[in-house]
Amino acid sequence: RKEVEQDPGPFNVPEGATVAFNCTYSNSASQSFFWYRQDCRKEPKLLMSVYSSGNEDGRFTAQLNRASQYISLLIRDSKLSDSATYLCVVPRGRGGGNKLTFGTGTQLKVEL
User: 60-84: buried (b, 16+ CB within 10 Å) or exposed (e) per residue?
Assistant: bbbbbeeeebbbbbebeebeeebbb
Least separation in angstroms between residue 54's CB and another protein is: 16
User: Contact between 54 and another protein (CB under 8 A)?
Assistant: no
Alpha-carbon distances of 16 from 13, 22, 59, 67, 86, rounded to whole Å = 8, 20, 11, 32, 18
Binding mask 12-51 for another protein (x = CB under 8 A): --------------------xxx-------xxxxx--x--
Tell which one of 60, 70, 96, 109 touches another protein (CB under 8 A): 96
User: Contact between 1 and another protein (CB under 8 A)?
Assistant: no
